[in-house]
Chains A and B, each alone.
Chain A
């Protein structure tokens, strides 16, 4: 059974008098322990796709299953709670809160019931940022911040990780390290990760690579 299953998603926006079909019949299936990349030029609908998969936006038609449960049927009022418990987000720039040190970035977003399941401090160690525990984002490097952000994405033991251009604000070397870390955590914890990116240098770290074109995903050979 696929951990993340997206079936036949369509979404269009009104653009003036025209109907702009951003996604038309998009499908994707990702197994446990897999990390996949979605490539595409800007404006191709990557953000829309990620928002629908991450329960931030509803599709016009189609279904989204996470862990076998059809989440596209959930009422909007349950979305926030569901996101917190089942989806981990990694944003383009770290998006850490400026007033929290790294330890608090994790613990203040961790559900009490997950404290026994996921050791936040252990996560920081695995991502090699345990030296930043007491540091605030303003005092950390770009790579460190993004690694803390990755740790935050895992802290509530979510089924899927959605990463939005996680290397955009990093140089090539740091970008690779960061993606390698996402990959390691996904493999170790048996999660699913979907990485939306246009950074072709990290594609060799992916299990599968898709290109988003004309509102659909096509798998391209991963060399």
Chain B
């Protein structure tokens, strides 16, 4: 241990260079996993942040909320079958137009009952349940938008229109991190949604896409032609999510492994340079075990320090990133990635240890020609 530390201190310049490399590698891995997660969030956040455990869908919907269709009375039936809270949810992809503009903005409407448990908290303004749930004096209905719409120049109180019906909304509030299928969400009340559908087709009869169930009490829920789907399954069935997520996750893990192998090779080269020194240490009575501890200590010190700095850098950088950048990294996930990185780099020093164990102390004698 003492040898490990003193050698690092003495070779400051050399080891600082190695440390910079380590930090950059770890930073790259962390940053990319943040971007990967962020990209994933853009697909699933709207569902993932919902406080629901299960969703009831029609059994021909292939676990996809947007193609499911449930009759209105099923809501009351299910409510009677469980003690958990049950609320309707509709998801509809449409376009939005800013007042006085012609550009269409992508929006996914999430229609919820105001005040129900799937209604999100707002970062700014008011929630749907805090405003009158009907048209205001100008005939506008309330909408709570994902805060990405702020970047489009929309602010609280602005008027926006649904592009196909030209139904006017006023922006009641902004919620954070509300995306579905790469598109920002606008929350409207189920009532407003019905109004919207009626504008689209006068023949519309009220139906729900899905029912969200808050808790675990689902055993008695049984309605002909429907199925219960866990939240995780809903998420993995969102179109393209699983394929995208798998690809990006693979990239991140390949990066972690490649970086760790690079580190292993670095330490191996250092070991080769020190063969003579290790030979002398062995001749002087230091066992392979003691030398192994020294090497592992050095690798551990270098990689733990690099991990800490890289974590700081990543979160520092994330704070300064533009809002539009899909970066999302939870601290515990970042810790796991860093931890795995440290463990793999220590494992990769086994290569060096095998080399050390093969050094014959006799090389110290006779001028030390190898």
A164 at the interface (CB under 8 A from B): yes
B-side contacts of A81, CB under 8 Å: 285, 287
Contact A56 B280 (CB under 8 A): no
A100 at the interface (CB under 8 A from B): yes
How far apart are B280's CB and chain A's nearest CB, in angstroms? 5
- Known contacts A81-B285, A81-B287, A84-B286: A99-B366 contact under CB 8 Å: no
Contact B364 A95 (CB under 8 A): yes
B-side contacts of A168, CB under 8 Å: 367
In the bound complex, what is the Cα–Cα distance between A84 and B284 (angstroms)?
A: 6
Contact A164 B365 (CB under 8 A): yes
Contact A80 B282 (CB under 8 A): yes
Segment at the B interface, from A47-55, A180-188, A201-209, A210-218:
A47-55
In the bound complex, what is the Cα–Cα distance between A217 and B61 (angstroms)?
A: 96
In the bound complex, what is the Cα–Cα distance between A99 and B281 (angstroms)?
A: 13
A154 at the interface (CB under 8 A from B): no
Most buried by A among B11, B277, B282, B365: B365
A-side contacts of B360, CB under 8 Å: 56
In the bound complex, what is the Cα–Cα distance between A165 and B3 (angstroms)?
A: 27
How far apart are A2's CB and chain B's nearest CB, in angstroms? 23
The residue that B362 contacts in the complex, of A56, A92, A97, A109, with Cβ under 8 A, is A56
B13 at the interface (CB under 8 A from A): no
Which residues of B (1-30) have their CB < 8 Å from a CB of A? 2-3, 6-7, 9-11
In the bound complex, what is the Cα–Cα distance between A152 and B343 (angstroms)?
A: 36
- Known contacts A91-B280, A99-B10: A50-B365 contact under CB 8 Å: yes
Contact A99 B9 (CB under 8 A): yes
A220 at the interface (CB under 8 A from B): no
Contact A80 B365 (CB under 8 A): no
In the bound complex, what is the Cα–Cα distance between A84 and B283 (angstroms)?
A: 8
Q: How large is the interface on B (under 10, 10 to 19, 20 to 34, 35 or more residues)?
A: 20 to 34
A52-77 near B? 1/0 per residue, CB < 8 Å: 00101100000000000000000000
Contact B367 A83 (CB under 8 A): no
Contact A56 B283 (CB under 8 A): yes
Contact B366 A92 (CB under 8 A): yes
A-side contacts of B7, CB under 8 Å: 97, 99
> Nearest CB to that of B369 among chain A residues?
A47
A-side contacts of B362, CB under 8 Å: 51, 56-57
B114 at the interface (CB under 8 A from A): no
Contact B284 A89 (CB under 8 A): yes
How far apart are B277's CB and chain A's nearest CB, in angstroms? 6
B-side contacts of A165, CB under 8 Å: 367
- Known contacts A80-B287, A99-B10: A91-B281 contact under CB 8 Å: no
In the bound complex, what is the Cα–Cα distance between A164 and B286 (angstroms)?
A: 19
In the bound complex, what is the Cα–Cα distance between A47 and B283 (angstroms)?
A: 14
How far apart are B288's CB and chain A's nearest CB, in angstroms? 8
B271-283 near A? 1/0 per residue, CB < 8 Å: 0000001001111
A-side contacts of B186, CB under 8 Å: none
In the bound complex, what is the Cα–Cα distance between A50 and B367 (angstroms)?
A: 12
In the bound complex, what is the Cα–Cα distance between A57 and B360 (angstroms)?
A: 9
Which residues of B (312-370) have their CB < 8 Å from a CB of A? 360-362, 364-368
The residue that B365 contacts in the complex, of A84, A91, A136, A152, with Cβ under 8 A, is A91
In the bound complex, what is the Cα–Cα distance between A92 and B362 (angstroms)?
A: 13
Contact B285 A80 (CB under 8 A): yes
Contact A97 B285 (CB under 8 A): no
How far apart are A90's CB and chain B's nearest CB, in angstroms? 11
How far apart are B11's CB and chain A's nearest CB, in angstroms? 6
How far apart are B3's CB and chain A's nearest CB, in angstroms? 6
A-side contacts of B364, CB under 8 Å: 56, 89, 91, 95
In the bound complex, what is the Cα–Cα distance between A165 and B367 (angstroms)?
A: 8
Which residues of B (247-305) have their CB < 8 Å from a CB of A? 277, 280-287
Counting from the closest, the 6 A-B pairs by CB-CB distance are A84-B285, A47-B366, A99-B10, A99-B7, A56-B362, A95-B280
14 contacts between A and B (CB under 8 A): A47-B365, A51-B365, A51-B366, A56-B362, A84-B286, A91-B283, A92-B366, A92-B368, A93-B368, A95-B280, A95-B368, A99-B6, A99-B10, A109-B286
- For the A-B complex with A91-B365, A99-B7 known, give 14 more contacts whose Cβ atoms are closer than 8 Å: A46-B366, A47-B365, A51-B366, A54-B283, A56-B283, A83-B285, A89-B283, A91-B368, A93-B367, A93-B368, A97-B3, A98-B277, A99-B10, A164-B365
